[in-house]
Structure 1
Amino acid sequence: MVTIDLTTPPPPPTSFIDAMARRLALTLPELRRVAELAGGAPLPFDLPSGTDGAVDAGSLSGRLGQSRGSVEDSAYTDALRTLHDPDETLRRRGLVTDAGADPGVVGAVGLLATPRLALDIDVAAGATQVKAWHRHSGGAVASLSTCDGIVFELAWFPVDQWTTELARVTAPPEDLPLGTSHVPAHLDVPYALADSVGEALRSGRSDLVPVLVDQSGGVVLADGREIGGAEAVDVVSAVHTEGRGRMRILAAEVSERATTSVGVVSWVLLRDGWHSLTPRHDDVARVAVVRVDPDDLATELAPVLAQVTVPEDLA
């Protein structure tokens, strides 16, 4: 079975360069061009329809006219058209020469297309949303991330550095200061109660929350202590009202020998920082909401990766 230890500190690097991830900013046209030079390697996301990134006139947006979405698509297309020719910019930056594209860049794009393990990461915090794709095979990892779909960060690094790179994904924005939360460090609540309270609050029916708590078929635990009444109302409500962001990671083994199995890691950003959301089932379906730090992501992810990988002797 493939084992990826994301919790043990990596061995000392043999050089300063070995301890660093290689990072490169590429515009979407440059990224497409590099993918072409890497043998037509597919990118890990769906590109806009049309060779120039324009919205297809036969698409739903094209048929319905200037909706909000189509206006945003138009602004996105206009932004892409202002970018310089990718061959020119890549040559000026020394990433493409007469001998071809930079081997490191080509290798990273190739790894994105042919991984053993894949992580699709979606993070929203405040007004910022970032999508990232981490791909692993052998002893290497390549990642691609963007917050606007125009400029991408391409990075590649040894698997020993994956823990550090994962922690970067969950770092809250500097303009989003943290404070104090009404949610305890470890909250354990029936899933049906958490879900129904969220629906009531979204519908503007906060008056129903005490009723839902009183009629719940399971106990609410705060740091191991059973709570009820007004305290339970405040705590369960805070999970929804304090929400300032969320993160979801889909993990899968994508090699040809594997039957696709997907694992999920979900976090929510509350007033005091990140809390993990972990479902489980006792007498009823429950969810644990646990305070975590960005450095804890690797620890949370390790068992999920172990679940989605296939033992070699069963391939």
Structure 2
Amino acid sequence: MSAVLLDAEGNEVEPRRVTPRRVRLPRAALDRLAELAGVPSPAEQMVVSSGSLESLGDRLGSLGQEPERPEVPAEEHAEELTDEATDEVADLDALLAASGLLDGGTPSQEGGAVLTVWHSPALAVELELLVSLARGKARVRSWHRNLDDWVVCLSTADGATFELTWLSADDWWLELGRAAWIDTRTLSADTADEPLPAVVETSWDLLLATGEAVQRRRFELLDQMVSDYSGMTLAGPDLEHLETADDGDVRRWHEQLESASRGRLHAAVMGRSERGRPGAGIVEWVLFHDGWRSLTPFTRDGWAMVRIERQEPTDLPRALAVLAAEVAS
């Protein structure tokens, strides 16, 4: 008799094909796993990448294509390992085996699947998070790769220790939301400014100009800059109730956007269209003590504008899903 899996309503569902797992590994362990599989190390790719989209096609790989295997000089094979190096390799192999990535000295079924998804994804999301904490600034990178029902995520804050996660595509949204969760109590000191409205629509050029003025501490320029774009900024509790903002409020908000922000999130969604062409979409968020604000460019009456809108961590998966549908269409 075969087991039948039922959901909470008693309906039959298919059993989960991917058993979710989260492990912490040093870079050397990831390099070792890739070496045994004869493929480039995922950790190496993350550390050396500039975050530019110029190498988009290379980072996506080709669906179903075997990843390029690095060339190893013949003399390296002939080199005898020292006792110390041998012990280090044995420790790494034991760690990989305990993590379920190695079996009998070769990549396990899960280990092989992780590397396959990483090097030949159909869809990829790369996130970079910069946060100003009370203890100092932190930079975290988190790369996600999806192929069929598999999702592989690799994250690091220092390039030395990595968190490797693999899970079902159905649960991916949870992992994406987790990437945007920040305990605002750990942020650097508050400036005690009033919070921004839930929605602010303002000139993109004004945002750039006032940001530059604040960075250079040329606060005397702000009033004139805001006056030049008077009446263009709208604000309100939601998109349905926006009103023209006073210049005094606009000046204060623009100064806050530069001086009171405590972090930024940059996410790139990359995929291939049905014709096989790589495409990308970008999400930009700014962090304040009361939470995240998204920055979304749009056009109004021929003017380049930006919508600054309050967001929750759970809104990030939705925003990325919209971009994923666009790049894959």
Give TM class, smaller chain: 0.7 to 0.9
1:176 to 2:187 alignment: yes
The amino acid across from 1:124 in the alignment is: L
Aligned match of 2:200: 187
Aligned match of 2:324: 305
Q: Deviations over 1:279-301 (max 9, x none)?
A: 00122000000000001101111
- Structure 1 segments (4+ residues) deviating >4 Å: 11-15, 17-20, 177-181, 254-257
Structure 2 distance, partners of 1:12, 1:245, is 44
Structure 2 distance, partners of 1:259, 1:217, is 43
Aligned match of 1:91: 94
Q: Deviations over 1:112-138 (max 9, x none)?
A: 111001111101122221101100111
| Aligned 8 A contact 1:189 1:218 in 2 | no
1:154: how far off? 0.8
Aligned match of 2:42: 43
| Aligned 8 A contact 1:125 1:245 in 2 | yes
Task: Kindly name which structure, 1 or 2, has the bigger radius of gyration based on alpha carbons.
Answer: 2
Structure 2 distance, partners of 1:236, 1:47, is 34
1:279 to 2:297 alignment: yes
| Aligned 8 A contact 1:191 1:285 in 2 | yes
Aligned match of 1:268: 286
Query: What TM-score do you get using the length of structure 2 for normalisation?
Result: 0.73
Q: Deviations over 1:170-193 (max 9, x none)?
A: 111462288875311101001011
Q: Deviations over 1:236-280 (max 9, x none)?
A: 221111110000111111589521211001100012111111000
SS of the equivalent of 1:141 reads strand
1:140: how far off? 1.4
1:93: how far off? 5.5
Which structure 1 residue ranges, 5 or more long, are not aligned? 1-10, 49-80, 311-315
SS of the equivalent of 2:121 reads coil
Structure 2 distance, partners of 1:193, 1:255, is 35
Alignment equivalent of 2:166, drawn from 156, 173, 180: 156
Sequence identity of aligned pairs in percent? 28
SS of the equivalent of 2:234 reads strand
Q: Aligned residue pairs: how many? A: 267
The amino acid across from 1:149 in the alignment is: G
1:97: how far off? 4.2
The amino acid across from 1:300 in the alignment is: A
Which structure 2 residue ranges, 5 or more long, are not aligned? 1-10, 49-83, 237-241
Query: What TM-score do you get using the length of structure 1 for normalisation?
Result: 0.76
1:107 to 2:113 alignment: yes
Q: Which has the higher contact order (CA 8 A, sep 6+)?
A: 1
Q: Deviations over 1:81-101 (max 9, x none)?
A: 99x724423225634343523
Structure 2 distance, partners of 1:270, 1:244, is 5
1:19: how far off? 9.4
Aligned match of 2:123: 117
Structure 2 distance, partners of 1:166, 1:26, is 20
Alignment equivalent of 2:259, drawn from 241, 247, 251: 241
Structure 1 distance, partners of 2:328, 2:26, is 33
1:46: how far off? 5.4
Structure 2 distance, partners of 1:85, 1:255, is 44
| Aligned 8 A contact 1:21 1:161 in 2 | no
RMSD: 3.0
Structure 1 distance, partners of 2:47, 2:317, is 30
Aligned match of 1:209: 222
Structure 2 distance, partners of 1:295, 1:20, is 23
| Aligned 8 A contact 1:115 1:254 in 2 | no
Aligned match of 2:150: 140
Aligned match of 2:26: 27
Structure 1 distance, partners of 2:143, 2:12, is 27
* 1:20–1:102 distance in 2 versus 1, CA, 3 Å: closer
Aligned match of 1:66: none
1:303: how far off? 1.3
